[in-house]
């Protein structure tokens, strides 16, 4: 989803990213002042390392890791990373698009926050992070076998429960 | 299992200790599995999720205005901060941030700062209680009561306030409310001195907190610690400064920093933050203009009760907004506030419907808690209690 705010400037980070890794950047959008960069899924670690280590960018703080399930789209999931540079006071949203069951390289080596962030994303969406040191369920019980609750085909009341409004959402 | 124990074997083995989920110092239902070598923690593994209520999933089947009460239940010690984070994100999504009247913005800042003080008071009381300074708990709750009374007078609820609306505030400040705040501002500075008299130079407090749970600035940033936890390590990051929201760019305040990154530093930062919050409250109260407290946006804002009851247009609008809600344009936004615990961010994705397609909460307690193993491994077991207290977690927010 990229609703562009006219010809808004996506900012320094995107320029640098396009210079350094031109084939990794898939799409750029600016919406309500937030810059979103969609990058190739297999390049995510490389992209984040560049964003963190480049002396002009210094995105040293990974704010959050999450995902969005676009049920009938190919590929199905967006994995969303919010990055922030404390010294430059700049925010960037990096997204990758992945299929169901497609492994995503873990960012745990780059940012320590990714450990719990990716565990939650795995727990809720079933996205597999390859190379994650400890990929277990975190909010749900470890023996939970009923799937991944934030997927769109997971009914709000869970599987096998009869209720009038317990239907898969959209 | 054999009934006979050899005392020498016992001393050589690692002991696994389940701390929680009903342990009083875990501030809710946190379970930490500790591998102990004698008194030293070899490994600490937090287990969370006991309070998981699926707020993010619920937000996908509720209209935008219906999600607001769920946000109270996350950080239930500072519900107005959560309300503020949520309504800001929705306003950004709708593109109506500029339409919110000034008075509403100042009122929001007043409520958010009061919530910050209330949350820090609970933290200070319980943290001191965990470490053994029992009396402070009562003093802190005495002052928190004043803040809860103010919330109650404004919106009728003390904890789960739901006191903000998309587009502004639900009501004008009631008569006498400003006087309550004035009284509070009058007594609070010396009350904070009183807490500090009990703790800051207390030798037991210092020995239990200094050099405990140290985290370096680099680790703090990489771990995504926010709020007083990252500022205790000397990193100057405060959302109110970095990305000012509401009227924080018009207010003068300092961002308290400490350098050591230990439990004592985080204590110093939070106490100093309470004083800064009082400063912000004073300025916000003085600068607050008269005028409307909710935006003139018939598409998003419910009509006043008088309108809804006496005019056909008002009644129609009331029904339409209640039953159909309003649709948000497709797009995605991230908007954060500096909650009492740290950066509280809402990431909302819309596909053009009257419900969020996806709402994600970047909960500060969740990521702050992730630092627990790093802070207490290879330390004595009693430090775990001090560290958990200094992280200031609220399990409602960790588990969502």
The CATH number given to B55-295+334-399 is 1.10.645.10
Q: Is A61 on the interface with B (CB under 8 A)?
A: yes
Which residue reads 């500090």 in tokens? B196
The answer to whether the Cβ–Cβ distance between B331 and A3 falls below 8 Å is yes
Q: Which helix (H) or strand (E) holds A44?
A: helix A44-53
Q: Is A66 on the interface with B (CB under 8 A)?
A: yes
The domain ranges of chain A are: 12-130
Find chain B residues with C-beta within 8 A of A115's C-beta: 370
What gap in Å lies between CA B330 and CA B94, rounded to an integer?
9
By three-state DSSP, how is residue A135 classified? coil
The domain ranges of chain B are: 7-47, 55-295+334-399
The answer to whether the Cβ–Cβ distance between B345 and A91 falls below 8 Å is no
Residue of A nearest to B366 (CA): A116
Q: What pLDDT is attached to residue A94?
A: 92
Q: What pLDDT is attached to residue B9?
A: 61
| Angstroms from B234 CA to nearest CA on chain A | 12
Q: What pLDDT is attached to residue A161?
A: 63
What values do phi and psi take at B187, rounded to 5? -90, -25
What values do phi and psi take at B369, rounded to 5? -65, -30
Residue of A nearest to B236 (CA): A86
* 3-state secondary structure string across B219-282: HHHHCCCCCHHHHCCCCCCCHHHHCCCCCHHHCCCCCCCCCCCCHHHHHHHHHHHHHHHHHHHH
Q: What pLDDT is attached to residue B90?
A: 92
The answer to whether the Cβ–Cβ distance between A89 and B242 falls below 8 Å is yes
Q: What pLDDT is attached to residue B28?
A: 74
Q: What pLDDT is attached to residue A3?
A: 45
| Angstroms from A2 CA to nearest CA on chain B | 7
Point out the residue among A1, A60, A116 whose CB comes nearest to the CB of B366.
Answer: A116
Q: What pLDDT is attached to residue A163?
A: 61
Q: Convert the pLDDT of each residue in A82-110 to its tens digit.
A: 999 988 888 899 999 999 888 999 998 88
| pLDDT < 50 regions, chain A | 1-4, 170
Are the C-beta atoms of B351 and B342 separated by less than 8 Å? Answer: no
**pLDDT at residue B20 above 80?**
no
Q: Is A71 on the interface with B (CB under 8 A)?
A: no
By three-state DSSP, how is residue B177 classified? helix
What gap in Å lies between CA B240 and CA B277, rounded to an integer?
12
Fold of A12-130: Beta Polymerase; domain 2 (3.30.460)
**pLDDT at residue B4 above 70?**
no
The answer to whether the Cβ–Cβ distance between B58 and A156 falls below 8 Å is yes
The answer to whether the Cβ–Cβ distance between A113 and B48 falls below 8 Å is no
CB pairs under 8 A between A and B: 106
Q: Convert the pLDDT of each residue in B48-100 to its tens digit.
A: 888 888 899 888 888 898 899 999 888 888 899 999 999 999 999 998 988 89
Q: Is the peptide bond before B329 cis (omega within 30 degrees of 0)?
A: no
- Kindly state the average pLDDT of the residues B207-230: 89
Chain A interface, best mutation among B221, B330, B363, by max A CB count within 10 A: B221
Q: What pLDDT is attached to residue B284?
A: 92
What gap in Å lies between CA A70 and CA B219, rounded to an integer?
34
Which residue reads 């809710």 in tokens? B28
Q: Provide the ipTM.
A: 0.87
């Amino acid at each position: 989803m990229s609703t562009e705010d006219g010809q808004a400037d996506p900012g320094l980070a995107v320029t640098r990213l396009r210079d350094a890794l031109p084939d990794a950047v898939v799409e750029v959008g600016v919406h309500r002042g937030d810059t979103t960069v969609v990058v190739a899924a297999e390049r995510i670690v490389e992209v984040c390392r560049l964003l963190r280590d480049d002396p002009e960018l210094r995105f040293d703080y990974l704010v959050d890791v999450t995902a969005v399930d676009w049920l009938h789209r190919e590929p199905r999931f967006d994995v969303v990373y919010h990055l922030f540079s404390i010294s430059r006071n700049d925010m960037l949203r990096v997204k990758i698009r992945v299929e169901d069951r497609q492994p995503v390289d873990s960012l745990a080596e780059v940012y320590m926050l990714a450990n719990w962030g990716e565990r939650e994303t795995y727990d809720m969406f079933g996205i597999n992070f390859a190379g994650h040191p400890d990929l277990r369920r975190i909010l749900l019980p470890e023996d939970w076998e009923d799937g991944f609750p934030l997927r769109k085909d997971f009914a709000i009341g869970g599987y096998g429960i009869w209720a009038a409004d317990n239907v898969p959402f959209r | 299992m054999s009934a006979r124990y050899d005392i020498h074997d016992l001393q050589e083995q690692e002991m696994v200790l389940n701390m929680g989920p009903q342990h009083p110092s875990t501030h809710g239902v946190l379970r930490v599995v500790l591998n102990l070598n004698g008194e030293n923690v070899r490994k600490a593994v937090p287990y969370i999720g006991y309070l998981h209520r699926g707020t993010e999933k619920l937000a996908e089947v509720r209209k935008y205005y219906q999600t607001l009460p769920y946000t109270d239940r996350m950080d239930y010690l500072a519900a107005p901060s959560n309300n503020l984070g949520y309504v800001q994100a929705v306003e950004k999504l709708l593109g109506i941030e500029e339409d919110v009247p000034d008075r509403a913005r100042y009122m929001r800042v007043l409520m958010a700062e009061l919530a910050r003080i209330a949350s820090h008071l609970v933290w200070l009381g319980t943290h001191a209680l965990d470490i053994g300074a029992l009396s402070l708990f009562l003093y802190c709750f005495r002052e928190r009561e004043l803040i809860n009374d103010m919330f109650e007078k404004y919106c009728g609820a003390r904890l789960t306030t739901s006191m903000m609306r998309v587009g502004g505030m639900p009501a004008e400040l009631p008569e006498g409310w400003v006087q309550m705040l004035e009284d509070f501002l009058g007594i609070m500075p010396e009350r904070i001195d009183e807490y500090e008299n009990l703790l800051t130079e207390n030798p037991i407090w210092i020995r239990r907190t200094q050099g405990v749970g140290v985290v370096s600035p680099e680790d703090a940033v990489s771990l995504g610690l926010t709020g007083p936890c990252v500022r205790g390590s000397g990193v100057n990051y405060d959302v109110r400064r970095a990305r000012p929201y509401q009227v924080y760019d018009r207010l003068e305040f300092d961002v308290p920093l400490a350098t050591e990154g230990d439990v004592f530093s985080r204590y110093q930062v939070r106490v100093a933050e309470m004083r800064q919050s009082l400063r912000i409250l004073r300025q916000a109260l003085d600068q607050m203009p008269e005028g409307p407290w909710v935006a003139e946006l018939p598409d998003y804002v419910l009509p006043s009760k008088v309108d809804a009851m006496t005019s056909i247009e008002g009644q129609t609008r009331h029904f339409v907004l209640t039953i159909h809600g309003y649709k948000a344009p497709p797009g995605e936004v991230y908007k954060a506030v500096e909650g009492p615990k740290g950066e509280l961010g809402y990431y909302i994705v819309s596909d053009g419907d009257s419900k969020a397609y996806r709402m994600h909460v970047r909960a500060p307690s969740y990521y702050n808690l992730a630092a627990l193993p790093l802070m207490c491994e290879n330390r004595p077991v009693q430090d775990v209690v001090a560290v958990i207290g200094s992280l200031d977690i609220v399990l409602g927010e960790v588990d969502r």
